[in-house]
Structure 1
C-alpha cells in the first residue's frame, strides 16, 4: 500500500502542484454516554443531503478519521450494535481544516422517546487554528456583500472605507491573495453571494500550502450540487430610498443530472448568477456639483465670447458663479453594470474517485468618474469594459485502508488530488461613442487651406534672370467645415470662425487665437476643471491569462498527517495602449515635412502668350526623399499619389475614414520617446502577436519596407512551488511543521549593469589590456569591478571603481558619494570605461549586449505552528512563518524605456530585476472559554517586512540618471488583538474584536519615495508610521434574532408570532485616525498642472486624522411558504421568502479619510485666504468666478467616506 501511495505522489510531483483548495477532514472519538468508555468498531457514516458519501469504523480507542471531505454542511450518523443510532446535523467541513465531532452513544435498553438529532455547533476552542471561517448562512445575515468588507470584520484587518482594499496586520493592500475554489484570482473577486458556501480568512500562521502572499489569504468555496432540485431568486434595490439606484437580480439552481441504478447521485450541478445595475456605485457623502442644465447646454453650444478690445476670445465657463451651480446626490455619468456567474459540476466516477469542474464569470461595463470632468464635461467620462473568467477541473482519488492490521498502523487515509485551472482577465478603456475608431477621437472638422506663393525681387542664379522670385508658399485663406464626431469640441472652432466672419488666413494663427485643430482638446477652466467638449484621450486594453497545474497528496503515517504538494503557474500578460487624439498631431508633423523647401535648382520661368519672360520665376517643392516619413509614403499611396509626388497634403482636410494607424511605422509611433503607443504581446499597431518573440530582434528585425518592427514580447513569468507539511502530536502539543520552496522566474531580460547602459570593461580586463598605467589593482578591488576613467574617448587614468552599488576611489577606498569620481573627469560627469566609447547614443547604439536573463529567485520558507490545549476550555497557540511574494507591479520589461531614456528623463522606469518581497511573521496567543457559550482570545503578533518595493533614483548612471524601483523598503508591525465570541444566548450572538497595532516602515507603497527620488536625494530610509497605521480598531458584529415554534420568545399580536424568524444584524466599527504629513507652506492643491512643492512640517506621518465611526445594519424576516398537497396522498410544497433591508453607514456618519496637509481640514487647503492667492486672484478672467470654482473643487468627495445607502430585497428559496 505504501509503495503504491509513494508512486502516486511521485507521479503527482512530476505533473502537478499543490492545491490550495484542499479538502477537509472529520475526526473524533465515540464513547459510551453513560460510562465514558470508548466504543471500538462503531460505524460513522457521513451523509450529504441524505445520501452517504463516506464512512469508517472506530479503532480500539473509539477514535476515527474520515478524509478527504469536500467543504460543505453534512449529516453524520454514529451507530453500534446494542446502542441507539446517534444522528448529527449541520456538521461543517471547511477546506484545509479538521472538524472534530465526538459522539456519545446510549444503550438500547434505556427508555427514550424518539431519536434526538443533535445540531452541530462550531466549538469555542478550535484545536486546528487555521484562520476564521464563515458559512454561507453567516454571510447571508451580514449587511455587507463585498468580500473585503466582510474580511475587515476580523481582528487585525484595516479597511479605510466600505468596498476599499484591506491591509492585513500592517501589510500593503496588494499583499493578500484571494482564492475561489482553489483558483488564485486575477481580476474581479466578486461572485454571486448565494454561491458562497464558506469564506475563510487567514491573517497569520499560513499553512505551507499557501504562498506568494505576505499579508493574508481569503479563500472562498462555492456551493456544490444538491440531492434534489433546489433553487432561489433574489432581487433588491435602493431606488426607493435614494438616487444611487443600486439594484440587483440574482438566481441559483442546483440538483442532480444523473443517478446510479440504486438512486444515489452520480452527476450533479450548481449554478448561480447575478445582474447588478448601479447609477452611482460610489456616491459622495457631500454630493457633487454640476452646472445648471440650461446653462451647461449654452456653454457647450457657445463656449466663447469675444474678448473685446485687442481681439481674441474668452471662455464663457470662466464667468460661472455659485448661483449657476447645483449640488446633486449622485455622480453624473458614473453608472455601472455587472454580470456574475458561478457554476460547479460534480461527477462521482467511482466509490474512491471524484471529478469536479466548474468556473466563474464576471462581466462589467460602465463609466469611470473623473473629478476634473465632473463639473463641465461628465458626458465624456471614459467607458470601461471588464471580462474575467476562470475554469477548473479537479480529480481526487482516495485509497481504501488495508485490512492488514500492521499496514493499517502505518498508512491510513491516503489520497491525492490534481487540479488544472485557467483564468483570463480582460480590461478595455475607451470613449463610449468612438470605441476602436481611433481617428474619431481627435477629429474637429475639415480645414481647407488655400495657398499661394510669396515673392521677392532679385536674381535667379540658375536662369540668370532678374525678376520676382518665389520665396515660399503660405496660407491665404482657410475654410472650415464642422465635423460631427465631437460636436462640443467642434463648437470652439466653429464659433471662432463665426467671430472673424470666416476671415482666417492661417491655420496656425487661428489655433493660437482659440480655434481647435484636429488633434486638439479644449483647455481647462482656471486649471481647476476640464472644459466642455474635452474628449477622452485614451484607448487601451489588457489581456492577462494564467494557467496552473496543481495537486497534492496526503496520508496519515502513524500519528503523523503528512501533506506533499507542488504548483506550476505560467502567466501571459499582454496590453496595448494609444493616445488617439494625438494621432492627428503626429500625422500633421510627418506629412509633407520633406517638401518644406523649394527646388531652386530648377526654376520655372514665367512667360506670356508669346513665350517671353514675364518677370516671374516660380519653383516646385523640393522632394527630399531622405526626410520623407513612412507615414507620408503610405498616406500618399492610399490617396492615389506616387510616393515621390510633390503635392502638399493637408491632413486637416482629410476625414477619419481616410486615416489609418497602420500608416505609421513603429518608430514613428514611439516618436523618439514621446510615444503615442505602449504595448507588449501586441505589435505597435495593436495586432496580437502569434507567440513569443526573440528579444534580440527588437533591435534588428525589419518588415518588408525596412522599418524596424520593434516587437515586444508579452510578460511571461513562471512560478513554481513545492511544500511538505507534517501535523503531529507530541505529548500535549499539537505541531504543524512545514517548509515551502518557491521559485520565481520573471522570464525576461534585465540590465547587465543598472549603472551603465553600455558594456563596460572590468578591472581584470583593464589589467590584461595593460593600459591606463595600472600595474596592479588595490587589494580590495575585485576582478569583476567596473572601472571609471577620466575621459570617455581618450582615457588616461583610473578615477574609481564600483562593485554593484558600492563605490571606491582610485586607491580602493570605499566612498559613499561618487561625486568625487565624477569631478575627476574632463567633463565633470561620471565616465565608465566602455568597450565602445565611440557609440554611446542610446537611440541608435543600444544593443542586446546590455541585457541578460533574469536570475530566478528561490526562497525557502519554514512554517512552524503549535497548539497547546491546557484543557478542553483553554488553548495556547503560536506560530513562526517566513512569507514571500513575487513582485506584482513595476517589473515588466520594456526595452523602449532604455532606448529613449535620454529623451524621457523624469519618467519612472519599471525594474525588470525586482526580487520577491519578504515577511517574517510571529504570533503567540491564548484562548479561554468564559462560559459554555463564550470565549476570549488574546494574541500578540510581530512582523518584519523586508525587501519591499520602493521608487529609487539611480544616481551616477551612464549616460543619464534615472528613476526606477528597487527592493529597498522595510518595516515592522507590532500588534495585540482581543476577540470575544458569544454564541447565541437567548436572542443575541456577538463577535467583538479590538486590535492595537503599530505599523511602521520606510514606505507605505511603492511610490511613497517617488518625489524624494526624482529630486535626486539620497535613498534615505527612515522608519515612520505607515499610511494605514490605525492604532486602535474596534469591530463588533451583533446579531439579535427570534426563532420559531416552541423556541419563539417574542411578542405575539392577535395570535400571531409577528417576529418569528426575524432578526437584526449590526456591524459596529470604530477606528483611530490614520497618519498624514503636515506641510508648512500653502499650495494651490485644488489645481492641476501647476509645479509646486510642499515643505515638510514636523515629521513624516506625524499627524493623525480624526477617529472614524460606522454602523451597518441588516433587518430581515424569513417567511415559510407552503402550498399544494390537498389531494389525497399529495405532497405539500415548501419555500422560504427572506425579506431584508440592508443599510450601510446607518447614521450617515461623515468620516474624514483625507485632509489637506497645510490646514488639516478636508474642505479647505488654505490657499484662497493666503497672500499668494490674492495676487493670483486679481489676474484671473473673473476673480469671483475663480474663487467660487476653487472653493467647490477643493471640497473633494474623496476626502469623505461613503454616505448612507439602503437596499430593500427579497430572497426566495425553493
Structure 2
C-alpha cells in the first residue's frame, strides 16, 4: 500500500485534476466585422446561466463546464451592436466553436442582431468515433430502454442473449458512466442501475479509442448525462398501453388474446426552482412499467404433479419501478452543490421451455438498486475549476421460487422421473441465488484551460467494493443415517458442502490519469496517460493439488479429529478445529495488479468540411468479479470427474491495443458522414485453464487463467442529415470480423470435459455479425411527425452438429468446428407517429407506436443439426411416447428461438 501511495503522489505531482464526461465548452474569436481585428474585452455569456467569459488580447474566449443542451449565446461590447446566437448546442467532452463578428453601433438603442446557430456536421476536435443521441431526438423515437438506443449506433451488435457488444468485444468490456462517475456493476460488467430514456439529456457512445479519463474498459464507453432542473417550472406525464398483435398463434401460444392492459407504462417528471429561491433547483422523474410478455405457458400440471386448470400464464413477464432526483444549489457564482439519486426495482421471469406445462414451478428474479451522489464544483478562475464527487451505488439480485428455502411448497422434480424431450409434469426449480454489489466512489477532478489552445485534465479516483454472494440448491432432507426423508422435505447444506457457496469480498481500485488537449487551428491532439491499481484482497491456494480445505486429499493434511490416535475415515475433516489448523497454511494472498496505459488521438482538418482522425491506445480491464471469486473454498470432492471451473483472484488485467483511422466529411449543407477503419488486438482474455490433477485418480478441476487471444477488425460508416425540409436521418453500417479462441471463459472447460483438445485457432465469436445496418428517419415538425427505425443484421454464428441414428436406436452426435455456420439474418422495422395540440396552455401529444411493423419472425437461436429455429433432425428419429407430457413437435416448437412479434402501443403525453 505504501508503494501505491508513493506512485500516486509522484504521478499527480506533474499534473493538475479534471472532470470526465459531463460538460462541454464553447470557444471562439470575436472580431470587428469591418476591419477583421480582434475585439478585446467583449462579454460573452450563455443567456439564463451564470456562465460566461471575456475576450483576451487576441479576441479569444472560452466558456467551460457547460452541461449538454441547447443555449443562446449573447455577445456585448460598448460601441458595438449586441449579437444573440440561438440554438448553440453543447455536447459532453467536445468544443462548440462559435466565432462572432460585431459591427459598430448603427441600430437603435436596445436592438440586437439575432443569429440562428446550426449544429456542425463535422466536429473538428473529435479524434475517435463516437455517437450522440440528445433528449429532443429520444422523445419521439420508437424505443423504450437505453439498450435500444445503443443498438442503433455504429459498431454495436447484439448477441443471442440480448447482450450488447461494441466492436466485437465481450459484453462485460463496456464501461457505463452516469453524470460523470462510473456506475458499472463490477460483478458481471453490466449497467448497475438502468437510466430511463426520458430522463436522459445526452447519451454518448464512444466505440473508438477513448481518452485517459475513462478506465477499466476495453471495448467502449457509454456515457449518460441526465436531465437537470432550470429557472422555470417544467413537467410532463406520459402514458401508453398496448399488446402484441400477431397471427402466428402456432409459435406464440395465446398471442391472439389481445388486451390493451398487457403492456402499460406511466411516467412523469417535474423540475424547476425550489420556492425558497432561484439558487436552488430540482428535477424529479418516475416510471412504472409492466408487461406480460409474449411467451406463455399452460398450467396443465401443478407443482405437485397433479392435473392443473389449463390456464395460460405469462412466462417472460416483467414489472418495474424507477425514479430519479436531482437538487442543485448555487451557493455562489463560483461554488455549486449538486445531490442526485437514481433507483429502480424490477421483478421478472425469463422463459424456461422445460416448465411450459408447469409454469408455476420456475423461479422468478428480483433486482433493485440505487445510486446516491454528492458533487461540489468550485470555480477557481474563469479558466480553472475542480470537482469533488462522492457516491455510493448498490445493486442486489435475487433468484428463487419461494424466498424461504424451507417452504413446504417445494417439490423435488426427481421423483417425477420425466422422460427426455418432455416438459415438466410437476416439481419446482430448486435454485436459490442472491448477490449484492456495493461500491463507494471518490473522485477529485480539475480542469484548466492553460492557454486558449491548451486544456489540461487530470483525475484521481478510488473505488471500494463490497461483494456478497449466497448460492445453493434446495436438496432433500436426510435422517441421521443419511437416508432421504420420504415424503420430500426441503433442506439446505452448510457452506462446507459443494452445494452451497457463500462469500463476502472487499476489493479496491485506484486510478490516476492526465489528459492534455491541444486545439491548434489545423491540428487537434488528445494525449493521455492512465495508471490503474487493483487489489483483489482474497486468497489463492498454496497447493493446487489439494484444493478442498474441508476435505483434504493428501494424508499430511488430515488430522486426528476424534482423538483416537488414528487418522482414518472416522475423523470429520470438516470439523472446525481441523479446518482452523489447515487455515494457517492453506492459502496465500493474491497479488495487487497495476498498469500504465497511454492514449493518443489526432484530428487533422484537411478543409473546412473535412477532418481526418487517428487514434491509438492501450486499454486494460480487471476481470469481472464473478471470475475472481466464483465457487469459493475450492470444494472439490472425490468424484472421478472434471469438477468445474473455480474463481481465481490472482487473474491479471485483460489487455487490448486499439487503432483506428477515419474521415469526417460534410457532403452538403445538411448531410455529413464518417468512415472509419479499426483494429483491435486482445491479450490475456480470461478462460478456463487446463485440468489440475489431484491425488485422487480421475478427480480434477480447473480455475480461470489469462490465456485467450482475440482479434477484431472492421469498418464503420455513418451518415446523418440534420432536420431541414421537414426530415432528418441517421444511417450507420458496420462491417466487422470478430474472432477469438473462445467466446465464453467457460468454453474451454466444456471442451476438456468432453475430451476435446484445447482450442488452437481463431474462430468466429458468438456475436460476430459481419454486416449490421441501422437507419433512423424522422419526418415532420415539432408538433407533428413520425420516426422510423429499420435494423438489419447478418446471421450470427452457430456450431453445427450431425445426428446419426442406427437401426438399433443408438444416437451419435458428432460436433463440427465451433461457430462454422451462420444463422438466418434478421430485419426489424419500427414506427412511431405523433400529433401535438395546444390545450388550455398545455402541450398535448398523442402517439401510436408499432414495433416490428411487419411482424417479422427473426430467429435468435437454431438447432445445430439443421440451422433452423423450428426443425431438428432428432424429431425424425424419435417415436411418440404416451408417457411424455407432450408431442415431439410441441417440444421442438420453442418460441424463445424467435424475437418478439409485433407490438402496438397507444399513448399520450401532457407537458408544460
Give the shorter-chain TM-score range.
0.7 to 0.9
Q: Is the 8 A contact 2:17 2:447 kept in 1?
A: no
Q: Shift in Å at residue 1100 of structure 1?
A: 2.7
Map 1:1096-1135 onto structure 2 (within 5 A). Answer: 1096-1097=815-816, 1099-1121=817-839, 1123=840, 1134-1135=841-842
Is 1:63 the counterpart of 2:60? The answer is: yes
CA deviation string 1:935-975 (max 9, x = no partner) = 12111000011111122323445554212322121111111
Q: Shift in Å at residue 436 of structure 1?
A: 2.2
Is 1:86 the counterpart of 2:83? The answer is: yes
Q: Identify which of 427, 434, 447 aligns with 1:554.
A: 447
CA deviation string 1:603-652 (max 9, x = no partner) = xxxxxxxxxxxxxxxxxxxxxxxxxxxxxxxxxxxxxxxxxxxxxxx976
Q: TM-score, normalised by structure 2?
A: 0.87
Q: Is the 8 A contact 1:842 1:902 kept in 2?
A: no
Q: Is the 8 A contact 2:192 2:394 kept in 1?
A: no
Cα distance in structure 1, aligned partners of 2:735 and 2:644: 40
Is 1:531 the counterpart of 2:412? The answer is: no
Map of 2:319 onto structure 1: 337
Map of 2:564 onto structure 1: none
- Distance change >3 Å, CA 758–CA 547, structure 1 → 2: closer
Q: Shift in Å at residue 536 of structure 1?
A: 3.0
Map of 1:422 onto structure 2: 392
Q: Say which is worse superposed, 1075-1084 or 80-89, in terms of deviation.
A: 1075-1084
Q: Identify which of 768, 781, 802 aligns with 1:1029.
A: 768
Q: Secondary structure at the match of 1:238?
A: strand
Q: Identify which of 850, 853, 864 aligns with 2:589.
A: 853
Map of 2:633 onto structure 1: 896
Is 1:980 the counterpart of 2:715? The answer is: no
- Distance change >3 Å, CA 731–CA 1015, structure 1 → 2: same
Map of 1:360 onto structure 2: 342
Is 1:145 the counterpart of 2:144? The answer is: yes
CA deviation string 1:357-392 (max 9, x = no partner) = 111010112344322111x21123323322110110
Q: Is the 8 A contact 1:885 1:916 kept in 2?
A: yes
Q: Is the 8 A contact 2:178 2:224 kept in 1?
A: yes
Map of 2:704 onto structure 1: 965
Q: Is the 8 A contact 1:441 1:536 kept in 2?
A: no
Cα distance in structure 1, aligned partners of 2:363 and 2:319: 15
Map of 1:385 onto structure 2: 366
User: Which is richer in strand?
Assistant: 2
Map of 2:646 onto structure 1: 909
CA deviation string 1:1144-1188 (max 9, x = no partner) = 211111112221111111111101213xx3xxx37x445xx67x6
Q: Is the 8 A contact 2:501 2:632 kept in 1?
A: no
Map 1:825-904 onto structure 2 (within 5 A). Answer: 847-888=583-624, 889-892=626-629, 894-898=631-635, 900=637
Map of 1:936 onto structure 2: 673
Q: Is the 8 A contact 2:495 2:502 kept in 1?
A: no
Cα distance in structure 2, aligned partners of 1:12 and 1:344: 32
Q: Shift in Å at residue 1015 of structure 1?
A: 3.1
Q: Shift in Å at residue 159 of structure 1?
A: 1.9
- Distance change >3 Å, CA 168–CA 188, structure 1 → 2: same
Map of 1:741 onto structure 2: 531
- Distance change >3 Å, CA 1029–CA 384, structure 1 → 2: closer
- Distance change >3 Å, CA 88–CA 164, structure 1 → 2: farther
- Distance change >3 Å, CA 247–CA 910, structure 1 → 2: same
Q: Secondary structure at the match of 1:249?
A: strand
Q: Shift in Å at residue 561 of structure 1?
A: 1.0
Q: Which of 1 and 2 has greater Rg?
A: 1
Cα distance in structure 2, aligned partners of 1:290 and 1:838: 54
CA deviation string 1:800-858 (max 9, x = no partner) = xxxxxxxxxxxxxxxxxxxxxxxxxxxxxxxxxxxxx9999986685442321111111
Cα distance in structure 1, aligned partners of 2:454 and 2:536: 37
Cα distance in structure 2, aligned partners of 1:731 and 1:128: 10
- Distance change >3 Å, CA 932–CA 222, structure 1 → 2: same
Cα distance in structure 2, aligned partners of 1:61 and 1:755: 72
Q: Is the 8 A contact 1:725 1:738 kept in 2?
A: yes
Cα distance in structure 2, aligned partners of 1:1091 and 1:544: 48
Cα distance in structure 1, aligned partners of 2:11 and 2:304: 74
Map 1:4-403 onto structure 2 (within 5 A). Answer: 19-33=19-33, 36-47=36-47, 51-109=48-106, 115-129=112-126, 131-160=130-159, 164-185=162-183, 186=185, 188-239=192-243, 242-243=258-259, 245-258=262-275, 265-280=278-293, 283-284=294-295, 288=296, 290=298, 296=300, 300=302, 332-374=314-356, 376-401=357-382
- Distance change >3 Å, CA 1091–CA 30, structure 1 → 2: farther
- Unpaired runs of at least 5, structure 2: 1-8, 186-190, 246-257, 557-566
Cα distance in structure 1, aligned partners of 2:895 and 2:721: 38
Q: Shift in Å at residue 72 of structure 1?
A: 3.4
Q: Shift in Å at residue 22 of structure 1?
A: 4.0
Q: Is the 8 A contact 1:524 1:530 kept in 2?
A: no
TM-align CA RMSD: 3.5
Q: Is the 8 A contact 1:883 1:918 kept in 2?
A: yes
- Distance change >3 Å, CA 868–CA 671, structure 1 → 2: closer
Map 1:628-647 onto structure 2 (within 5 A). Answer: none
Q: Identify which of 388, 401, 404 aligns with 1:436.
A: 404
Q: Identify which of 432, 438, 445 aligns with 1:545.
A: 438
Q: Say which is worse superposed, 968-977 or 745-754, in terms of deviation.
A: 745-754
Cα distance in structure 2, aligned partners of 1:927 and 1:389: 39
Map of 2:4 onto structure 1: none
Is 1:997 the counterpart of 2:736? The answer is: yes
- Distance change >3 Å, CA 520–CA 55, structure 1 → 2: closer
Cα distance in structure 2, aligned partners of 1:223 and 1:391: 16
Q: Is the 8 A contact 1:421 1:547 kept in 2?
A: yes
Cα distance in structure 2, aligned partners of 1:1210 and 1:221: 26
Q: Secondary structure at the match of 1:77?
A: strand
Q: TM-score, normalised by structure 1?
A: 0.66
Map of 1:1210 onto structure 2: 908
Q: Is the 8 A contact 1:1114 1:1141 kept in 2?
A: yes
- Distance change >3 Å, CA 1144–CA 106, structure 1 → 2: farther
- Distance change >3 Å, CA 950–CA 1083, structure 1 → 2: farther
Q: Shift in Å at residue 167 of structure 1?
A: 0.9
Cα distance in structure 1, aligned partners of 2:83 and 2:532: 46
Q: Is the 8 A contact 1:192 1:272 kept in 2?
A: no
Q: Shift in Å at residue 188 of structure 1?
A: 4.8
Q: Shift in Å at residue 756 of structure 1?
A: 6.0
- Distance change >3 Å, CA 36–CA 739, structure 1 → 2: same
- Distance change >3 Å, CA 736–CA 539, structure 1 → 2: same
Map of 1:574 onto structure 2: 468
Q: Shift in Å at residue 522 of structure 1?
A: 4.8
- Distance change >3 Å, CA 894–CA 383, structure 1 → 2: closer
Q: Shift in Å at residue 1062 of structure 1?
A: 1.0
Q: Is the 8 A contact 2:803 2:874 kept in 1?
A: no
- Distance change >3 Å, CA 85–CA 947, structure 1 → 2: same
Q: Shift in Å at residue 735 of structure 1?
A: 0.8
User: Which is richer in helix?
Assistant: 1
Is 1:1069 the counterpart of 2:827? The answer is: no
- Distance change >3 Å, CA 1161–CA 132, structure 1 → 2: closer
Cα distance in structure 1, aligned partners of 2:38 and 2:497: 82
Q: Is the 8 A contact 1:1068 1:1112 kept in 2?
A: yes
- Distance change >3 Å, CA 743–CA 58, structure 1 → 2: same
Cα distance in structure 1, aligned partners of 2:747 and 2:487: 47
